Amino acid sequence: MVGYSREKDRPFSAFFSFPWRRRHILATGLSAVAISVTADISSDASSPTAGADSLDFMKISLCLTDRKTLDPVLGKALFCRLIGKTPKRQAKFGQLSSIFNSQPWENANHFVTTAVKQNPDLPPLIRDILHGWYRGIVDEKVVVYRSAMMFSLTRNILYPKTYANGDLFYWTSRPPEVPLPKGQPVMKPDVPESLGK
Protein backbone atom coordinates (compact mmCIF):
# COMPACT_ATOMS: atom_id res chain seq x y z
CA MET A 1 0.00 0.00 0.00
CA VAL A 2 1.38 3.40 -0.97
CA GLY A 3 1.84 5.84 1.93
CA TYR A 4 0.31 9.32 1.84
CA SER A 5 1.81 12.64 2.84
CA ARG A 6 0.01 14.54 5.57
CA GLU A 7 0.23 17.93 3.85
CA LYS A 8 -1.71 17.44 0.64
CA ASP A 9 -2.98 13.83 0.80
CA ARG A 10 -0.70 12.81 -2.04
CA PRO A 11 1.18 9.53 -2.37
CA PHE A 12 4.85 9.71 -1.47
CA SER A 13 5.64 8.64 -5.04
CA ALA A 14 4.16 11.96 -6.19
CA PHE A 15 6.80 13.74 -4.12
CA PHE A 16 9.46 12.45 -6.52
CA SER A 17 7.47 12.96 -9.70
CA PHE A 18 8.24 16.68 -10.06
CA PRO A 19 11.51 17.40 -11.93
CA TRP A 20 12.53 20.18 -9.56
CA ARG A 21 12.24 17.82 -6.61
CA ARG A 22 14.51 15.26 -8.25
CA ARG A 23 17.06 17.94 -9.14
CA HIS A 24 16.93 19.23 -5.59
CA ILE A 25 17.57 15.75 -4.17
CA LEU A 26 20.38 15.12 -6.66
CA ALA A 27 22.02 18.48 -5.88
CA THR A 28 21.74 17.78 -2.14
CA GLY A 29 23.34 14.36 -2.58
CA LEU A 30 26.18 15.77 -4.66
CA SER A 31 26.75 18.51 -2.10
CA ALA A 32 26.99 15.93 0.67
CA VAL A 33 29.52 13.92 -1.35
CA ALA A 34 31.58 17.06 -2.05
CA ILE A 35 31.57 17.99 1.65
CA SER A 36 32.66 14.50 2.68
CA VAL A 37 35.49 14.45 0.10
CA THR A 38 36.66 17.92 1.16
CA ALA A 39 36.57 16.86 4.81
CA ASP A 40 38.58 13.75 3.97
CA ILE A 41 41.25 15.77 2.13
CA SER A 42 41.42 18.42 4.85
CA SER A 43 41.72 15.75 7.55
CA ASP A 44 44.62 14.23 5.64
CA ALA A 45 46.21 17.66 5.23
CA SER A 46 45.88 18.44 8.96
CA SER A 47 47.23 15.07 10.09
CA PRO A 48 50.60 14.99 11.89
CA THR A 49 52.26 13.27 8.93
CA ALA A 50 51.31 16.03 6.50
CA GLY A 51 53.75 18.70 7.72
CA ALA A 52 57.47 18.11 7.36
CA ASP A 53 56.83 14.64 5.91
CA SER A 54 54.98 16.02 2.88
CA LEU A 55 57.87 18.42 2.26
CA ASP A 56 60.31 15.50 2.53
CA PHE A 57 58.09 13.54 0.15
CA MET A 58 58.41 16.31 -2.46
CA LYS A 59 62.20 16.55 -1.97
CA ILE A 60 62.62 12.77 -2.28
CA SER A 61 60.34 12.75 -5.34
CA LEU A 62 62.42 15.47 -7.00
CA CYS A 63 65.54 13.42 -6.39
CA LEU A 64 64.04 10.11 -7.58
CA THR A 65 62.47 11.56 -10.73
CA ASP A 66 65.47 13.82 -11.45
CA ARG A 67 63.19 16.82 -11.92
CA LYS A 68 63.69 20.43 -10.93
CA THR A 69 59.99 21.03 -10.35
CA LEU A 70 56.95 18.86 -9.60
CA ASP A 71 53.28 19.71 -9.21
CA PRO A 72 52.69 20.32 -5.47
CA VAL A 73 48.94 19.57 -5.74
CA LEU A 74 49.66 16.21 -7.34
CA GLY A 75 52.41 15.61 -4.76
CA LYS A 76 49.99 16.27 -1.92
CA ALA A 77 47.42 13.87 -3.40
CA LEU A 78 50.05 11.15 -3.90
CA PHE A 79 51.45 11.67 -0.40
CA CYS A 80 48.00 11.43 1.23
CA ARG A 81 47.11 8.27 -0.71
CA LEU A 82 50.52 6.61 -0.52
CA ILE A 83 51.86 7.53 2.93
CA GLY A 84 49.05 9.15 4.90
CA LYS A 85 46.67 6.19 4.73
CA THR A 86 49.11 3.32 5.33
CA PRO A 87 50.83 3.03 8.74
CA LYS A 88 53.40 0.50 7.43
CA ARG A 89 54.50 2.91 4.73
CA GLN A 90 54.64 5.77 7.25
CA ALA A 91 57.30 3.92 9.26
CA LYS A 92 59.32 3.07 6.15
CA PHE A 93 58.96 6.60 4.83
CA GLY A 94 60.34 7.95 8.12
CA GLN A 95 63.42 5.78 7.63
CA LEU A 96 63.72 6.86 3.99
CA SER A 97 63.48 10.56 4.90
CA SER A 98 66.08 10.25 7.65
CA ILE A 99 68.49 8.68 5.14
CA PHE A 100 67.67 11.40 2.59
CA ASN A 101 68.23 14.23 5.07
CA SER A 102 71.51 12.75 6.36
CA GLN A 103 73.62 14.15 3.49
CA PRO A 104 73.42 15.78 0.04
CA TRP A 105 73.07 13.37 -2.87
CA GLU A 106 74.72 13.50 -6.28
CA ASN A 107 71.83 11.83 -8.09
CA ALA A 108 68.95 9.38 -7.65
CA ASN A 109 71.16 6.35 -8.21
CA HIS A 110 73.51 7.40 -5.41
CA PHE A 111 70.59 7.99 -3.02
CA VAL A 112 68.75 4.73 -3.85
CA THR A 113 71.92 2.60 -3.65
CA THR A 114 72.79 3.99 -0.22
CA ALA A 115 69.20 3.72 1.06
CA VAL A 116 68.90 0.09 -0.02
CA LYS A 117 72.25 -0.77 1.60
CA GLN A 118 71.13 0.76 4.89
CA ASN A 119 67.64 -0.74 4.78
CA PRO A 120 66.83 -3.59 2.34
CA ASP A 121 63.07 -3.15 3.01
CA LEU A 122 62.90 0.24 1.26
CA PRO A 123 62.80 -0.76 -2.47
CA PRO A 124 59.00 -1.42 -2.50
CA LEU A 125 58.33 2.06 -1.09
CA ILE A 126 60.70 3.68 -3.60
CA ARG A 127 58.95 1.80 -6.42
CA ASP A 128 55.54 2.87 -5.12
CA ILE A 129 56.62 6.53 -5.09
CA LEU A 130 57.90 6.28 -8.66
CA HIS A 131 54.79 4.40 -9.82
CA GLY A 132 52.64 7.10 -8.26
CA TRP A 133 54.39 9.87 -10.20
CA TYR A 134 54.83 8.04 -13.51
CA ARG A 135 51.62 6.02 -13.70
CA GLY A 136 49.38 8.07 -11.40
CA ILE A 137 48.26 4.87 -9.64
CA VAL A 138 48.59 4.02 -5.95
CA ASP A 139 47.40 0.65 -4.62
CA GLU A 140 45.54 -0.03 -7.88
CA LYS A 141 43.57 3.23 -7.53
CA VAL A 142 43.95 6.09 -10.00
CA VAL A 143 45.10 9.27 -8.25
CA VAL A 144 45.85 11.21 -11.44
CA TYR A 145 45.58 10.28 -15.10
CA ARG A 146 46.26 13.09 -17.51
CA SER A 147 49.11 14.67 -15.51
CA ALA A 148 50.98 11.41 -14.92
CA MET A 149 54.64 11.56 -15.99
CA MET A 150 54.33 8.71 -18.45
CA PHE A 151 52.29 11.05 -20.66
CA SER A 152 54.45 14.15 -20.20
CA LEU A 153 57.62 12.25 -21.09
CA THR A 154 56.23 10.95 -24.36
CA ARG A 155 54.31 14.05 -25.38
CA ASN A 156 54.94 14.97 -29.07
CA ILE A 157 56.93 11.73 -29.47
CA LEU A 158 54.52 8.80 -29.13
CA TYR A 159 50.99 8.91 -30.45
CA PRO A 160 47.98 6.78 -29.63
CA LYS A 161 47.46 3.72 -31.83
CA THR A 162 44.69 5.12 -33.94
CA TYR A 163 43.98 6.36 -37.44
CA ALA A 164 43.69 9.91 -36.08
CA ASN A 165 47.31 10.94 -35.65
CA GLY A 166 46.96 13.41 -32.81
CA ASP A 167 48.92 14.17 -29.67
CA LEU A 168 47.90 12.58 -26.37
CA PHE A 169 44.54 13.90 -25.18
CA TYR A 170 44.05 15.76 -28.45
CA TRP A 171 40.39 14.72 -28.36
CA THR A 172 39.80 16.89 -25.27
CA SER A 173 40.61 20.15 -27.05
CA ARG A 174 38.68 21.88 -29.80
CA PRO A 175 39.94 20.91 -33.26
CA PRO A 176 41.51 23.69 -35.33
CA GLU A 177 39.43 25.47 -37.94
CA VAL A 178 40.23 24.16 -41.42
CA PRO A 179 39.30 26.37 -44.39
CA LEU A 180 37.27 24.76 -47.14
CA PRO A 181 39.27 23.95 -50.28
CA LYS A 182 38.70 26.39 -53.15
CA GLY A 183 40.44 24.49 -55.93
CA GLN A 184 38.86 22.00 -58.30
CA PRO A 185 39.80 18.33 -58.32
CA VAL A 186 42.37 17.31 -60.94
CA MET A 187 40.38 14.25 -61.99
CA LYS A 188 36.70 13.48 -61.99
CA PRO A 189 35.65 10.96 -59.36
CA ASP A 190 35.32 7.45 -60.75
CA VAL A 191 31.64 7.06 -59.89
CA PRO A 192 29.12 5.29 -62.15
CA GLU A 193 26.54 7.64 -63.64
CA SER A 194 23.75 5.27 -62.63
CA LEU A 195 24.62 5.66 -58.94
CA GLY A 196 21.76 7.20 -57.01
CA LYS A 197 19.23 6.88 -59.82
Domain-located, residue 126 = yes
Residue 124: predicted pLDDT? 92
- Structural domain boundaries, residue 153: 49-164
Residue 27: predicted pLDDT? 57
Domain-located, residue 189 = no
Tell whether 17 and 105 lie within a shared domain: no
Tell whether 32 and 60 lie within a shared domain: no
Residue 25: predicted pLDDT? 55
Classified as helix, coil or strand, 4 is strand
Residue 96: predicted pLDDT? 93
Residue 64: predicted pLDDT? 93
Give this prediction's pTM.
0.58
Residue 78: predicted pLDDT? 93
Structural domains of the chain, count: 2
Average pLDDT of each block of 10 consecutive residues along the chain (197 residues)? 51 50 55 47 48 85 91 91 86 92 91 93 93 90 85 69 64 78 73 67
Domain-located, residue 173 = no
Residue 38: predicted pLDDT? 45
Tell whether 158 and 96 lie within a shared domain: yes
Tell whether 72 and 36 lie within a shared domain: no
Check if the beta carbon of residue 40 is closer than 8 Å to that of residue 105: no
Tell whether 41 and 54 lie within a shared domain: no
